[in-house]
């Protein structure tokens, strides 16, 4: 399916000479021709990059916006006051191109930490941004990602489309994760923000590549619908279905990032059921998917349930070993605390590309899910090979 933006959105991605490879675009924008309500969720890192600090102030204004500018190759992180000035300059240059107010432009950067943006190139690049194939923006965001990441859902009333980049802090000082979602649905900003926060917690925040959150992680949603007679209101069926569709888009992008984890050969999909609370289920799922021992075992195609049990136990909550059941790609491993693993079958299912670890805690009715990649020689190679 060709990737498209909803009505009244367009984007571009070009080579702005931030990196040498002329075939890799590194500057782009997503533009809404109509005022768009915006929601944003950002990194929890204590040293957020300048663009993250700037976008937070934009979100707080609670006013419609017109565009997101993005550059790769340079994260504008840990760059001090000069970095903030450059983010503001970038915002101003884009606003001038679009004849809108500076406060209607968000900026995002990903790349090297600790170097200043080459503003001459940024300025030249912005002056050349137009409208082109949406995939150009999907490409312009990428750093060391191996694939573009897009998702979209179309209903009779609206469309939701998203692009993302991720794949972990691969190269030295690489900011990690960006996600931009656009919809022509009509929804007020407060509700959109609340919805995004809730859905990011069960999607982007449930993937782990190397456990570190970066200085630049950003997820933005623009909604430019203006038919308030069809506005999505909390608690309605329309709301429920919009929420499900937005979650679908965010989840697809998040899984794409996990699958493209640095050096990844397998996707690990951990599904926890019968937990006391949703928070507990999500914590257990993330602990298992985040365990280096589980990640290396998956790389080694080793149905190493001892490590899974250990990772569950490391969450530090009270579980009952006698009600714990685990299966891997539907092969039973542990049933109510008893090892029931058939080594042959287990070794066989561990060969599959997607490893679904189903964990039933047997102490409640809540569930949670998390996704990650295996830990491979290539991960070490990618992360260790660089020399200053």
Q: Which stretches of the chain bind its own copies, using CB under 8 A?
A: 44-47, 77-78, 80, 112-114, 169, 172-173, 210-215, 291-293, 296-297, 299-307, 309-319, 321-322, 337-339, 341, 343, 346-347, 375-377, 379-381, 383-388
* Residue 106 near residue 66, CB atoms below 8 Å: no
Ligand-binding annotation for 366, yes or no, is no
Judge contact between 149 and 253, C-beta under 8 A. yes
Name beta bridge partners: 208: 372
93 vs 121: CA distance, rounded Å: 12
Check 79, 90, 148, 176 and give the catalytic one. Answer: 176
What lies within 8 Å, CB to CB, of 99 at 6+ separation is none
* Least distance from its own copies to the Cβ atom of residue 67, Å: 28
Min dist CB 95 to its own copies, Å, is 27
When the beta carbons of 212 and 352 are compared against its own copies, the nearer one is 212
Decide whether 82 or 130 has the Cβ nearer to its own copies. 82
- Contact between 132 and 13 (Cβ < 8 Å): yes
CB of 283 to its own copies, least distance (A): 12
User: CA neighbours within 13 Å on the CB side: how many for 76?
Assistant: 26
CA distance 133 to 142: 16
Q: Using CA atoms, how far apart are residues 178 and 156, in angstroms rounded to an integer?
A: 28
CA 56 to chain centre: 17
Q: Consult the annotation and say whether 149 binds a ligand.
A: no
DSSP state of 380: H
Q: 176: annotated binding-site residue? A: yes
273 is catalytic: no
For its own copies, the closer CB: 212 or 227: 212
* 36 close to 222: Cβ distance less than 8 angstroms: yes
Q: Using alpha carbons only, give the angle 339, 342, 345 rounded to the nearest 5 degrees.
A: 140
Residue closer to its own copies, measured from CB, 102 or 115: 115
Which residues have a Cβ under 8 Å from the Cβ of 75 and sit 6 or more positions away? Answer: 49, 109, 110, 111, 112, 113, 173, 174, 175, 214, 215, 216
79 is in an annotated binding site: no
Is residue 312 helix, strand or coil?
helix
User: Which bin fits 17, alpha (ψ -120 to 50), beta or left (φ > 0)?
Assistant: left
Cβ proximity to its own copies, 306 vs 352, nearer residue: 306
> Residue 225 or residue 303: which is nearer to its own copies going by CB?
303
Question: What are the structure tokens assigned to 363, written together?
Answer: 């102490």
Q: Number of C-alpha atoms within 13 angstroms, CB side, residue 20?
A: 0
The catalytic site residues sit at 176
Q: Which residues are annotated as a binding site for substrate?
A: 143, 165, 176, 262, 383, 388
């Amino acid at each position: 399916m060709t990737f498209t933006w909803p009505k009244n959105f367009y984007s571009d991605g070009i080579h702005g000479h931030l990196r040498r490879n002329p075939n890799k675009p590194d500057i782009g924008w997503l533009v809404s021709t109509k005022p768009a309500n915006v929601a944003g969720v950002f990194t929890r890192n204590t040293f957020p990059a300048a663009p993250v600090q700037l976008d937070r102030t934009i979100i707080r204004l609670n006013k419609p916006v017109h565009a997101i500018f993005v550059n790769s190759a340079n994260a504008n992180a840990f760059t001090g006051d000069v970095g903030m000035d450059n983010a503001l300059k970038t915002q101003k240059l884009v606003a001038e191109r679009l004849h809108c107010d500076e406060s209607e432009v968000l900026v995002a950067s990903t790349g090297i930490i600790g170097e200043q943006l080459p503003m001459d190139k940024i300025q030249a690049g912005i002056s050349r941004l137009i409208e082109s194939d949406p995939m150009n923006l999907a490409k312009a965001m990428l750093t060391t990602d191996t694939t573009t990441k897009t998702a979209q859902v179309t209903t009779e009333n609206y469309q939701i489309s998203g692009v993302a980049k991720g794949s972990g802090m691969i190269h030295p000082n690489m900011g990690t994760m960006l996600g931009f979602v656009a919809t022509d649905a009509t929804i007020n900003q407060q509700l959109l923000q609340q919805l995004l926060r809730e859905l990011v917690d069960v999607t982007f925040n449930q993937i782990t590549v190397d456990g570190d959150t970066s200085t630049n992680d950003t997820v933005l949603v623009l909604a430019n619908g203006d038919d308030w007679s069809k506005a999505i209101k909390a608690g309605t069926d329309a709301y429920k279905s919009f929420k499900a569709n937005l979650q679908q888009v965010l989840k697809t992008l998040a899984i794409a990032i996990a699958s493209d984890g640095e050096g990844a050969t397998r996707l690990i999909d951990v599904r926890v059921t019968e937990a006391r609370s949703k928070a507990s289920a999500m914590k257990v799922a993330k602990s298992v998917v985040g365990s280096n021992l589980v990640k290396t075992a998956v790389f080694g195609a080793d149905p190493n349930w001892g490590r899974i049990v250990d990772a569950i136990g490391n969450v530090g909550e009270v579980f009952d070993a006698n009600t714990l059941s685990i299966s891997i790609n539907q092969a039973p491993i542990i049933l109510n605390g008893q090892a029931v693993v058939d080594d042959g079958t287990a070794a066989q299912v561990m060969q599959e590309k997607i490893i679904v670890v189903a964990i039933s805690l047997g102490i409640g009715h809540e569930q949670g899910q998390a996704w990650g990649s295996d830990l491979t020689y290539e991960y070490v190679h990618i992360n260790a090979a660089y020399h200053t």
